Amino acid sequence: MQPKYKRVVLKLSGEALAGAQESGIDLNVVRSISKQIKTIHDMGVETAVVVGGGNFWRGRDADMDRATSDYMGMLGTVINALAFQDALENIDVMTRVQTAIEMKDVAEPYIRRRAMRHLEKGRVVIFAAGTGMPYFSTDTTAALRAAEIDAEVILIAKKGVDGIYDSDPNINPDAKKFDELTYLEILNKELKIMDTTATSLCMDNKIPLVVFGIDEDNSIVSVVSGSDMGTKVR
């Protein structure tokens, strides 16, 4: 099947990797998402993955020095990235992990041109350690990396929800799902889909976004194949 996109940034939240667990990594979830990544990779889609870290640590939630806490959060994303590297390479997908905080024994440092070269050579690039800076999020990392590597779209795979709603559908049964939205509407309606830094970065750089559910079967492949699932933002 002809994919809809040539180059994508796939943002996976840490929460999605925990599966039914409260925290940590459910390797079955990582393996199942990796299979979908292999499918889109085999379709010829250049795929960069930005992994979150909320399954280990969220900087702002801890009662401690914020910057230190955020560095702990960034390290959590590296653990997730290595789990994906292992799962993908086990199914013969070549990968490179690039970290925004240097840890050369573990992974390459983030180098934009090298990341783009890896993608051109058919490697999946996994961006870890967020932006490398405290007070930011991995959603902002996805926006930043998508702009830097000239990705056509950011795919945001969410756990427990299949798009953007006007209120939380897990609390309000009358919540209404949007098929399409603009970034301005997200900001004006104060929809909690991404933090405002990430939203503004996408808006200013005109990077479209698709928000969809990770719980639905094969959703990443469906979105890349052009299905109308989820909510499109531009």
Annotated binding site: 11-14, 53-54, 58, 70, 131-138, 165, 168
Decide if residue 74 touches ligand UDP (CB under 6 A).
yes
Kindly identify the residues of this chain, within the stretch 126-155, that bind ligand UDP according to CB under 6 A: 130-131, 133-134, 136-139, 141
Residue among 124 and 198 whose Cβ is closer to ligand UDP: 198
d(CA 160, CA 61): 21
Q: Please give the annotated binding residues for ATP, written as ranges.
A: 11-14, 54, 58, 165, 168
User: Cα 231 to the chain's mean position, in Å?
Assistant: 15
Q: Which residue is associated with the tokens 């959603």? A: 139
53 counts as binding ligand UDP under rule CB under 6 A: yes
Q: At what angle do helices 112-120 and 138-149 cross, to 10 degrees?
A: 70
Contact call for residue 199 and ligand UDP (CB under 6 A): no
Q: Does 207 engage in binding with ligand UDP (CB under 6 A)?
A: no
Q: State the minimum distance, in angstroms, from the CB of residue 226 to ligand UDP.
A: 26
Give Dmax over CA atoms of the chain in angstroms.
51
Q: Where are the alpha helices (DSSP H) in the chain?
A: 14-17, 27-42, 66-90, 112-120, 138-149, 183-188, 196-204, 219-224
14, 72 Cβ separation under 8 angstroms: no
Length of the chain, please? 234
Least distance from ligand UDP to the Cβ atom of residue 234, Å: 22
Least distance in Å: CB of 11 to ligand UDP? 7
99 binds ligand UDP (CB under 6 A): no
Give the span between the Cα atoms of 114 and 125, in whole angstroms. Answer: 10
The sign of the dihedral angle between the CA atoms of 3, 96, 152, 51 is positive
By CB under 6 A, is residue 98 in contact with ligand UDP? no
Q: Candidates 38, 41, 58, 96: give the one binding ligand UDP (CB under 6 A).
A: 58
Q: Least distance from C-beta 145 to ligand UDP, angstroms? A: 11
Shortest gap between Cβ of 13 and ligand UDP (angstroms)? 4
Cβ–Cβ under 8 Å, residues 4 and 152: no
Q: How far apart, in whole angstroms, are the C-alpha atoms of residue 195 and residue 139?
A: 7
Nearer to ligand UDP, 93 or 156 (CB): 156
198 lines the binding site for ligand UDP (CB under 6 A): no
Query: Which residues are annotated binding-site positions for UMP?
Result: 53, 70, 131-138
Q: Which residues are near ligand UDP by CB under 6 A?
A: 13-15, 52-54, 58-59, 70, 73-74, 76-77, 130-131, 133-134, 136-139, 141
